[in-house]
Amino acid sequence: MKLHKESKGTIIVATLLFIIIGVLAIYFLKIWSLLVIMPLLVIYSLVFWFFRVPDRKILDHRENVVAPVDGKVVMIKEVEETEFLKGKAIQVSIFMSPLNVHICRYPVSGKVIYKKYHPGKYLVAWHEKSSTENERTTVAVESLTNHKVVFRQIAGYVARRIVFYCNEGDQAKAGHEFGFIKFGSRMDVFLPLDTEIICKIGDITKGGLDVIARLKE
């Protein structure tokens, strides 16, 4: 199983803790140490599972908007996007549980025209105010169809580290990685009002594979 580059520090710490606690359990609890070691082994395995990088065949897209992450669609509504678009847009929000793949992917192809990191709170990721009050990043891409699409990584109650690798001027390719969020979080995508929304609330998405909307040419 291929692991994401962001896993290195977490896995080192998890390995050291597993060894230390395991040795202490064996020393003090003898045969009863299995009651400690087995649950720890499950948690240790889940750390590796969280940082997995699935092998996915990413297609080329022009007008399609693809799911930026694995997760569940929890919101589709018209909102006021005040940071970059400064106007009305359709917000599609996808919530990721700690068991989902947490690679963040471009939802559209085009050119990166804006990026910004915002420190903030750690409200639960499905809370509506998390989009504007939590730690988050905002990226805007001018799509191949000449639309401005904004998307936002949002830290949740558990997620405490967001990374994004894109820079203004980069070429964005729908479905390809631009960042990562550790342990439970959410992504919002802000689309033009005339966008054809294909997904619905409750849909389970596969990042980079599922088409969630279609931009007008």
Positions marked catalytic: 185
Question: What gap in Å lies between CA 25 and CA 62, rounded to an integer?
Answer: 56
User: Do 164 and 176 contact (CB within 8 A), yes or no?
Assistant: no
Q: Which has the closest alpha carbon to 213: 84, 83, 93?
A: 93
Comparing CA positions, the residue from 53, 51, 62, 3 lying closest to residue 216 is: 62
Contact 184, 98 (CB under 8 A): yes
